[in-house]
């Protein structure tokens, strides 16, 4: 077994919900309060990447090494981004909904992959720091 920072399903659940709330708040209120595009767009993407890491941790920790979960989160996040290059009428219609935009996005951007990776790295390092602090 491997030591994870949040340490429990409840911890990962709460962290995931907080990251989701932060991302939704950033998307909803970032522009109205005057935050620049780079913060709103790529900050939300970083939070989305962190969310992927936390969900994987919720599902697989402590059985899987946190670093392996981080690598898997990067691969899954990049796969979702590359999936944006695939188009069908029904999928494009789904992408136009709020749920579709939040889950799979609309437009491919390599910068989103960079943002996801930074968010995943941040979540991984926070988790690792908490693991050191608690044990």
What is the mean predicted confidence (pLDDT) over 56-64? Answer: 92
Work out the pLDDT band at 43, boundaries 50, 70, 90. very high
Alpha carbons 112 and 84: distance in angstroms, whole number: 11
pLDDT tens-digit series, residues 69-124: 999 999 999 999 999 999 999 999 999 998 998 888 889 999 999 999 999 999 99
DSSP 106: S
Alpha carbons 40 and 44: distance in angstroms, whole number: 6
Full-model pTM: 0.89
Q: First CA to last CA across the chain, in angstroms?
A: 14
């Amino acid at each position: 077994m491997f030591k994870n920072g949040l340490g429990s399903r409840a911890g990962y659940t709460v962290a995931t919900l907080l990251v989701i709330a932060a991302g939704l708040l950033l998307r909803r209120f970032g522009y109205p309060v005057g935050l620049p595009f780079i913060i709103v767009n790529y900050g939300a993407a970083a939070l989305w990447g962190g969310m992927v890491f936390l969900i994987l941790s919720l599902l697989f920790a402590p059985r899987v090494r946190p670093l392996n979960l981080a690598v898997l989160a990067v691969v899954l996040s990049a796969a979702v981004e590359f999936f944006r290059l695939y188009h069908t009428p029904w999928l494009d219609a789904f992408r136009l909904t709020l749920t579709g935009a939040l889950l799979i996005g609309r437009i491919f951007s390599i910068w989103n992959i960079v943002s996801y990776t930074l968010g995943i790295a941040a979540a991984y390092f926070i988790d690792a720091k908490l693991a050191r602090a608690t044990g």
